């Protein structure tokens, strides 16, 4: 992750509820210690998180990747409160219906550091994460480990598919994805983390959350998610955690202790820094690869566009040959084109004319909450500026 430009310091708000939904087989009562994690004699390390804050868990995971000894293998298990997690190189306005996240529904949008597509997490989903030396890394190794854990719990139909995901075959109903994987590879370490849907109550809401209103208007560089039908495995989270720990120990030995940690891990300076960095909108939105939003088909993106809500029947005039103005009714709709990189607007055209105002060019999308006002401030002179603005408030919505 490159250094961010806008690292304002906002206080960390404690999460509403911090207790995990499963009882954890934590055998050690010691606090998380970076020096213990980095100690070369700790070849096999197992951590189970009590925190349900996605950023706390991702930040500790990243810190373990940075600090654990290059020869060590580290297992981490955690469950997050409801959130949508997008991959490092994804576009949130293509992947996520942000109006559905909202402060009310309290589903947090998170961008992780690993690759891959968008996933939904809630308390019925347990995440596994294994960090190992690059030499030992293969995309399927630890998905297979989780499959063995699921089989030991009676889910015999689980297998790893060609996308390195875990699926279950349910006869005539079809094949369902229960776990998705993503990877972060560095010089010294390889990280594989994945979700596992066990008893997710939010399963039905997933497809609505992961369907963005602007998708059909945006052509984005970066990574598109691949949609798959999903299902719950139907095992208890605590039993799953136990089974994965068992399988991990079988692979790497080490009757070692299982270390637990909670939100107090944010007292570790680097974990806290990572947390704050990931929380910044300059990361969540500002890491977005270049994209173009256009209400008209373009050369690069010839898809036919759906009607936009600011298309309306308007009164116009026809200049007739006898120099009379004849009122007619026509469809009027401003044509909108926006080009942005790293969430910052490079170019915005209304009806083919670029708005040159600094309140548009160089502005961060996540800092615009009222597009109509912003467009007017920039000198937009179209009749339907209110409608265009209201539409943009939806398709380029951001979480506060």
Partner 1 sequence: MASIARTFMAARPAMLRLAPRAAPIARTPFRTFSSSRMSLLRKYTKDHEWVDLSADHKTAVVGISEYAAEQLGDVVYVELPEAPGDWIEQGDAIGAVESVKSASDINAPIRCKVHSVNKALEEKPSTINQVPEDDSHGGGWIAKVDIDEAGVKQFEGLLDAEAYQAFVSTVDEE
- Binding residues (CB under 8 A) for partner 1: these are 2, 87-89, 113-117, 134-140, 164, 181-190, 221-223, 289-290
Residue 285: name the closest of 228, 344, 238, 234 by CA. Answer: 344
Q: What is the closest distance, in whole angstroms, from the C-beta atom of residue 1 to partner 1 in the complex?
A: 9
Q: What is the closest distance, in whole angstroms, from the C-beta atom of residue 234 to partner 1 in the complex?
A: 26
Query: Which residue number, 279 or 290, has a Cβ lying nearer to partner 1?
Result: 290
Q: What is the closest distance, in whole angstroms, from the C-beta atom of residue 252 to partner 1 in the complex?
A: 17
Question: Can you read off the two tokens belonging to residue 112?
Answer: 């992780």
Q: What is the closest distance, in whole angstroms, from the C-beta atom of residue 351 to partner 1 in the complex?
A: 27
Largest CA distance in the chain: 95
Q: What is the closest distance, in whole angstroms, from the C-beta atom of residue 285 to partner 1 in the complex?
A: 16
Query: Which residue number, 10 or 135, has a Cβ lying nearer to partner 1?
Result: 135
Query: Which residue number, 187 or 204, has a Cβ lying nearer to partner 1?
Result: 187
Query: Which residue number, 91 or 398, has a Cβ lying nearer to partner 1?
Result: 91
Give the H or E element holding residue 249: helix 237-252
Question: Can you read off the two tokens belonging to residue 384?
Answer: 């339907």
Residue 383: name the closest of 319, 333, 335 by CA. Answer: 333
Query: Which residue number, 48 or 160, has a Cβ lying nearer to partner 1?
Result: 160
Terminal Cα distance for the chain, rounded: 22
Query: Which residue number, 137 or 337, has a Cβ lying nearer to partner 1?
Result: 137
Phi, psi of 266 (to 5 degrees): -70, -10
Sheet containing strand 108-111, strands side by side:
108-111, 83-86, 119-121
Place of tokens 């083919």: 352
Strands 44-49, 325-332: parallel, antiparallel or unpaired by DSSP? unpaired
Query: Which residue number, 119 or 355, has a Cβ lying nearer to partner 1?
Result: 119
Number of helices (H), then strands (E), in the chain = 11, 19
Q: What is the closest distance, in whole angstroms, from the C-beta atom of residue 182 to partner 1 in the complex?
A: 5
Query: Which residue number, 272 or 341, has a Cβ lying nearer to partner 1?
Result: 341
Q: What is the closest distance, in whole angstroms, from the C-beta atom of residue 40 to partner 1 in the complex?
A: 19
Sheet containing strand 158-160, strands side by side:
158-160, 166-169, 175-179
**Residue 251 to residues 99, 141, 145, 172, 268, Cα–Cα distance (Å):** 44, 10, 8, 34, 30
Rounded CA gap, 202 and 210, in Å?
A: 12
Q: What is the closest distance, in whole angstroms, from the C-beta atom of residue 222 to partner 1 in the complex?
A: 5
Query: Which residue number, 99 or 188, has a Cβ lying nearer to partner 1?
Result: 188
Give the H or E element holding residue 272: helix 269-279
Q: What is the closest distance, in whole angstroms, from the C-beta atom of residue 30 to partner 1 in the complex?
A: 30
- Label residues 258-293 b or e (16+ Cβ within 10 Å = b): bbbbbbebbebeebbebbbbbbbbbbbbbbbbebbb
């Amino acid at each position: 992750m490159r250094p961010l430009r806008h690292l304002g310091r906002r206080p960390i708000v404690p999460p509403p509820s911090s207790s995990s939904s499963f009882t954890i087989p934590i055998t050690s009562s010691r606090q998380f210690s970076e020096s213990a994690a980095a100690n070369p004699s700790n070849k096999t390390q197992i951590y189970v998180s009590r925190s349900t804050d996605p950023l706390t868990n991702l930040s500790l995971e990243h810190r373990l990747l940075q600090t654990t000894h290059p020869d060590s293998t580290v297992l981490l298990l955690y469950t997050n409160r409801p959130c949508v997690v997008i991959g490092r190189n994804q576009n949130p306005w293509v992947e996520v219906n942000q109006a559905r996240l909202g402060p009310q529904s309290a589903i947090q949008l998170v961008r992780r550091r690993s690759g891959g597509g968008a996933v939904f997490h809630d308390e019925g989903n347990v995440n596994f994460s294994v960090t190992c030396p690059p030499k030992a890394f293969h995309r399927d190794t630890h998905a297979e480990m989780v499959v063995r854990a699921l089989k030991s719990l009676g889910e015999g139909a689980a297998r790893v598919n060609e996308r390195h995901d875990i699926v279950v075959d349910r006869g005539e109903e079809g094949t369902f994805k229960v776990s998705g994987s993503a990877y972060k590879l560095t010089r010294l370490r390889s990280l594989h983390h994945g979700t596992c849907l066990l008893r997710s109550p939010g399963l039905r809401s997933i497809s609505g959350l992961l369907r963005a209103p602007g998708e059909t208007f945006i052509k984005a560089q970066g990574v598109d998610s691949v949609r798959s039908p999903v299902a719950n495995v139907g095992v208890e989270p605590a039993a799953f955690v136990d089974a994965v720990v068992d399988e991990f120990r079988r692979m790497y030995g080490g009757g070692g202790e299982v270390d637990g940690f909670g939100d107090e891990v944010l007292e570790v300076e680097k974990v806290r820094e990572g947390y704050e960095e990931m929380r910044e909108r300059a990361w969540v939105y500002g890491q977005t690869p270049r994209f173009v939003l256009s209400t008209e088909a373009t050369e690069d993106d010839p898809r036919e566009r759906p009607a936009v809500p600011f298309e309306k029947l308007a009164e116009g005039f026809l200049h007739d040959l006898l120099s009379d103005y004849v009122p007619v009714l026509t469809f009027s709709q401003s044509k909108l084109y926006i080009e942005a990189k790293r969430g910052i607007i490079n170019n915005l055209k209304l009806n083919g004319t670029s708005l040159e105002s600094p309140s548009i060019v160089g502005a961060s999308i996540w800092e615009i909450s009222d597009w109509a006002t912003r467009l007017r401030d920039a000198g937009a002179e179209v009749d339907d500026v209110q409608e265009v603005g209201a539409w943009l408030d939806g398709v380029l919505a951001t979480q506060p």
